[in-house]
Amino acid sequence: MAISKKEKKIKSNNQRLTINDKRLNIDVPYTANLANLKLSKSEEKLFPKQLKEIIGYVSKLEEIDTSKVEPIGHITGLESITRADIPAPSLSQEDALKNAPKTYNGFIEVEAIFEEQEDF
Amino acid sequence: MNNLDLTGLTIKEASQLLVKKQIKARELTQACLERAHDLNKKLNCFITICDAVALEQARRVDELIANNQKLSPLAGIPIGLKDLFSTAGIRTTAGSKVLANYVPVYDATVVARLKDAGAVFVGKTNLDAWGHGSSGENSDFGPTLNPYDLSRVPGGSSAGSAAAIASGACIAATGTDTGGSIRTPSAFCNLVGIKPTYGRVSRYGIIAMASSLDSIGHLTKTVYDNALLLNVTAGQDNFDATTLPAVVMDYTDRIEEGVKGIKIGLPKEYYEGLDKNIKKIVLDAVKVLKGLGIKVVEVSLPHTKYGNACYYIIQPSEVSSNLARYDGVRFGFAREKFSPEAKRRIILGTFTLSSGYYDAYYLKAMKVRRLIREDFVKVFKKVDVLICPVLPTLPFKLGEKIDDPLTMYLSDIFTVTINLAGLPSLAIPCGFINNLPVGMQVVGPDFSEKLLYQVGFAYEQETKWYEQRPKL
How far is B177 from A10, CA to CA, in rounded Å?
35
Tell me the mean pLDDT in the region A19-43.
85
Task: Judge whether residue A22 has pLDDT over 80.
Answer: no
- pLDDT value at position B46? 98
| Nearest beta carbon to residue A61 from set B101, B106, B309 | B309
Average pLDDT, rounded, for chain B: 97
Q: Higher model confidence: residue B457 or residue A20?
A: B457
Q: What confidence tens digit (pLDDT) does each residue in B251-278 have?
A: 999 999 999 999 999 999 999 999 999 9
Three-point CA angle B179, B185, B187, nearest 5°:
100
B12 contacts B76 by C-beta, under 8 angstroms: no
Task: Judge whether residue B378 has pLDDT over 90.
Answer: yes
Tell me the mean pLDDT in the region A29-54.
96
Show residues of chain A in contact with B359, CB under 8 Å. 14
This model's pTM is above 0.80: yes
- In B205-297, where does DSSP find H-type helix? 223-233, 276-291
Query: What pLDDT band is residue A10 in, cutting at 50, 70 and 90?
Result: very low
Which 3 state secondary structure label does DSSP give B385?
strand
Tell me the mean pLDDT in the region B406-426.
96
Is A88 an interface residue toward B (CB < 8 Å)?
Answer: no
B348 contacts B316 by C-beta, under 8 angstroms: yes
| Nearest beta carbon to residue B446 from set A64, A66, A76 | A76
Query: What pLDDT band is residue A114 in, cutting at 50, 70 and 90?
Result: confident
Q: A with B: how many residue pairs have Cβ under 8 Å apart?
A: 156
Query: What pLDDT band is residue B161 in, cutting at 50, 70 and 90?
Result: very high
Residue A13's nearest CA partner among A2, A32, A28, A26 is A26
Q: What confidence tens digit (pLDDT) does each residue in B205-251 have?
A: 999 999 999 999 999 999 999 999 999 999 999 999 999 987 789 99
Query: What pLDDT band is residue A113 in, cutting at 50, 70 and 90?
Result: confident
**Chain B, 304-323: which have a CB under 8 Å from a chain A CB?**
306, 309-310, 312-313, 320
Question: What type of residue sits at position A39?
Answer: L
End-to-end CA distance of chain B: 19
Interface contact flag, B409 A54, Cβ < 8 Å: yes
Which 3 state secondary structure label does DSSP give B136?
coil
B107 contacts B204 by C-beta, under 8 angstroms: no
How far is B200 from B230, CA to CA, in rounded Å?
9
Query: What pLDDT band is residue B49 in, cutting at 50, 70 and 90?
Result: very high
Which 3 state secondary structure label does DSSP give B441?
strand
Q: Before B157, cis peptide (omega within 30)?
A: yes
Residue of A nearest to B99 (CA): A99
Tell me the mean pLDDT in the region B29-41.
98
Task: Judge whether residue A9 has pLDDT over 60.
Answer: no
Write down the ipTM of this complex. Answer: 0.92
Residue of A nearest to B328 (CA): A101
B296: left (phi over 0), alpha (psi -120 to 50) or beta: beta
Tell me the mean pLDDT in the region B423-441.
98
Closest-CA distance, B54 to chain A, in angstroms, reads 23
Query: What pLDDT band is residue A24 in, cutting at 50, 70 and 90?
Result: low
Residue of B nearest to A9 (CA): B356
How far is A18 from B204, CA to CA, in rounded Å?
40
Closest-CA distance, A118 to chain B, in angstroms, reads 28
Q: What is the DSSP annotation of B148-173?
A: TBTTB---SSSHHHHHHHHTTS-SEE
Per DSSP, B303 falls in state: G
**Chain B, 13-72: which have a CB under 8 Å from a chain A CB?**
none
Query: What pLDDT band is residue A19 in, cutting at 50, 70 and 90?
Result: very low
Tell me the mean pLDDT in the region B28-41.
98
Distant-in-sequence, close-in-space partners of A79: CB < 8 Å, separation ≥ 6: A73
- pLDDT value at position A117? 73
- Using only C-alpha atoms, chain B has a radius of gyration, in whole angstroms, of 21
- pLDDT value at position A38? 95
| Nearest beta carbon to residue B369 from set A58, A72, A101 | A72
Residue B470's nearest CA partner among B13, B41, B95, B35 is B35
Q: What confidence tens digit (pLDDT) does each residue in B168-218 have?
A: 999 999 999 999 999 999 999 999 999 999 999 999 999 999 999 999 999
Residue of B nearest to A54 (CA): B406
Is A113 an interface residue toward B (CB < 8 Å)?
Answer: no
- pLDDT value at position B324? 98
Segment among A78-87, B169-178, B318-327, B429-438 with least mean pLDDT: A78-87
How far is B21 from B29, CA to CA, in rounded Å?
15
Is A10 an interface residue toward B (CB < 8 Å)?
Answer: yes
Interface contact flag, A51 B370, Cβ < 8 Å: no
How far is B358 from B348, CA to CA, in rounded Å?
12
Residue A53's nearest CA partner among A75, A79, A24 is A24
| Nearest beta carbon to residue B367 from set A55, A71, A99 | A71
- pLDDT value at position B323? 98
Show residues of chain A in contact with B246, CB under 8 Å. none
Share of chain B above pLDDT 70, in %: 100
End-to-end CA distance of chain A: 45
Q: What confidence tens digit (pLDDT) does each residue in B437-467 have?
A: 999 999 999 999 999 999 999 999 999 999 9
For strand B263-267 and strand B295-299, is the pairing parallel, antiparallel, or unpaired?
parallel
Residue of B nearest to A40 (CA): B336
B21 class by beta-carbon count within 10 Å (0-12 exposed, 13-18 middle, 19+ buried) = exposed
Is B351 an interface residue toward A (CB < 8 Å)?
Answer: yes
**Chain B, 174-203: which have a CB under 8 Å from a chain A CB?**
197-199
- pLDDT value at position B211? 97
Task: Judge whether residue A37 has pLDDT over 50.
Answer: yes
Q: What confidence tens digit (pLDDT) does each residue in B90-135 have?
A: 999 999 999 999 999 999 999 999 999 999 999 999 999 999 999 9
Residue B44's nearest CA partner among B182, B140, B180, B181 is B140
Interface test with A, best of B203, B347, B354, B403 (most A CBs within 10 A): B347
Segment among A3-7, A71-75, B135-139, B384-388 with least mean pLDDT: A3-7
- pLDDT value at position A1? 46
Which 3 state secondary structure label does DSSP give A63?
helix
How far is B161 from B182, CA to CA, in rounded Å?
9
**Chain B, 366-405: which have a CB under 8 Å from a chain A CB?**
366-371, 373, 404-405
Residue of A nearest to B363 (CA): A71
Per DSSP, B414 falls in state: T
B360 contacts B132 by C-beta, under 8 angstroms: no
3-state helix, strand, coil in chain A (%, to 5): 40, 5, 60
How far is B230 from B213, CA to CA, in rounded Å?
19
A58 contacts A51 by C-beta, under 8 angstroms: no
Task: Judge whether residue B82 has pLDDT over 60.
Answer: yes
Tell me the mean pLDDT in the region B54-81.
97
Residue A66's nearest CA partner among B320, B440, B255, B367 is B367
Interface test with B, best of A9, A11, A22, A31 (most B CBs within 10 A): A31
- Which residues of B are catalytic, by number? 82, 157, 181
B219 contacts B173 by C-beta, under 8 angstroms: yes
Q: Kindly list the distances between the CA atom of residue B158 and the CA atoms of B46, B102, B121, in Å, as whole numbers in the listed order.
A: 11, 20, 16
- pLDDT value at position A21? 62
Computed from CA positions of residues B78, B83, B86, B88, in that sequence, does the dihedral angle turn out positive or negative?
A: positive
Tell me the mean pLDDT in the region A74-81.
87
Closest-CA distance, A120 to chain B, in angstroms, reads 33
Interface test with A, best of B367, B369, B417, B448 (most A CBs within 10 A): B367
Interface contact flag, B309 A59, Cβ < 8 Å: yes
Is B331 an interface residue toward A (CB < 8 Å)?
Answer: yes
Distant-in-sequence, close-in-space partners of A97: CB < 8 Å, separation ≥ 6: A103, A106, A108
- pLDDT value at position B2? 83
Task: Judge whether residue A98 has pLDDT over 60.
Answer: yes
Q: Higher model confidence: residue B57 or residue A16?
A: B57
